[in-house]
Amino acid sequence: MNAASVNASLREIDDLPSPRGLPLLGNLHQLPPATHHLKLERWAAELGTPYVFHFATTPVTVWDDIELSHAVMRERPHRYRRYEPIENILKEFGCNGLFSIEGAAWEPQRRLVMQALSIPHIKAFYPTLAAITERLRRRWEAAARAGRVVDMTEDLKRFTVDVTSALAFGEDPNTIENERVLIQEHLAMLLPMLMTRVNAPFAYWHYVKFPRDRKFDHAIAEVHRHVRELMTRARERMREERSAEGCETPLHEVRAAPRNLLEAMLALRDAPNSDITDDEVAANVLTMLVAGEETTATAIAWALLFLSTDDALLARVAAHARDVIGDAAVCPTYGAMRELDLCEAVCTEASRLHPIAPYLSFEPLEEVRLQGVRLPAGTKMFMLNRPAMMDPKNFADPARYDPDRWLHEHRHPVEGAPEHGPHEQRAYLQFGAGPRVCPGRHLAVVEMRLVVSMLAANFTAQLATNPADIHEVCTFTSVPSAMPVRLALRQDR
């Protein structure tokens, strides 16, 4: 085929199917902020993919091919980058850390974060994880005895903030027991405001601040004050240790293996000729706090939608937990935690049906040609996650909630056992893929196993609202609109 024929077969962005829009606004008026992800999925079903919609005058291409998603993520950060407005807004927030940073700064920061979230580090940290889980159990026991309905999303975010702070920064704010600690409330405002400003047709906040913007400005200032205090205290601890040892070694050489992410980043920051700044350290602290709070808490919350409406499933998870942890209130050891496969499976399956990240957003750094479409550098690309997870070619009976599909014996039956249908794990992209796969995925799995086993072993649970009244709200991640649960102490303990 000659070059002219190849070029003739290429489609341009304007050749793609598109929902009807309005001049200047494009399709902006058709995309309610809280549910825009559902609209994008409906258009994909109606128009097929790829299609293009217009965010005001900016074209955004939409894709749902799982192999293409993997291919794009494999070529990050060299050929593709995350959607540029995300990085720009996070820079304004002082939060342009590992999640959003691009270019040469990414790799050294990635190494530090991976060290802090490595399996050996989390294994050594496990007693603290278990202690924070026990603290959550006591909070839920008090609620059960008082007959109070538990706001699960709120409590789970408190749990994940405490875990992330203790692991990554060496300090435990104890938001679970201390109702007056406001850091979690301030953090909760960041992702919704990120979504609002990324989707704004122009940077209105540079010219006028609405009450919501002023409230957010106060919250982010308080969060940064908290982060700088964390950094100051960590530096002081490192200096005190050096002084106690009678050591004249420079601060960045005090410990060959820093105990947490913050110490590692400060040691690197304070090394001679360092190109890391305090602002970059603070941005990564903030990134860890937000990412650690939101995603794992949401995955567990979605699992509770199914556990608290299915007594038989909850009883089965409780029996599984008791088989593993015995009479303990919380899983006592890291080794035992690794046996809690069903507790992880209920969360994984919930986030297959209700993906925490309904889509991933990228831009090519150079012109690319994908599926016969020419995309100039900087073209906006949304990669939908749910369609592949709801495709019967990837998952058997995909609309059914079935945690068993994630268990080893289900995926790999013994010879002669019945086939269970397709199970394409590569279609599940909640932790991403490629070089920039989520560094916190192992910590998330440990938290899921700990919390679900603790809840099922110690409590019965009933959803305190009609399940039909719970819907997805996209605040950068897709969270449940509510998750009120009434707990009762198990009588069979």
**H or E element in which residue 132 lies:** helix 119-146
Residue type present at position 465: T
Sequence-ordered strand ranges (E) for 273-409: 359-364, 368-370, 373-375, 380-384
Secondary structure (3-state) at 369:
strand
Neighbour tally for 195: CB within 10 Å:
19
**SS in 3 state form for 226-246?**
HHHHHHHHHHHHHHHHHHHCC
Please say whether the beta carbons of 44 and 51 come within 8 A.
yes
Instruction: Name every residue whose Cβ is closer than 8 Å to that of residue 111 and which is 6 or more positions away in sequence.
Output: none
Instruction: Name every residue whose Cβ is closer than 8 Å to that of residue 23 and which is 6 or more positions away in sequence.
Output: none
Q: Which two tokens stand for residue 467?
A: 């399940």
Any binding-site annotation on 474?
no
Phi, psi of 203 (to 5 degrees): -80, 70
Q: Which two tokens stand for residue 155?
A: 């409590």
Q: At what angle do helices 261-269 and 152-169 cross, to 10 degrees?
A: 50
**H or E element in which residue 480 lies:** strand 477-480
Q: Which two tokens stand for residue 492?
A: 């069979």
Query: How is 144-184 classified by DSSP, letter by letter?
Result: HHHTPEEEHHHHHHHHHHHHHHHHHHS----TTT-TT--HH
Tell me: cis bond preceding 50? Omega within 30 of 0 counts.
Answer: yes
User: Binding site for heme: what residues are annotated?
Assistant: 438
User: Binding site: what residues are annotated?
Assistant: 438
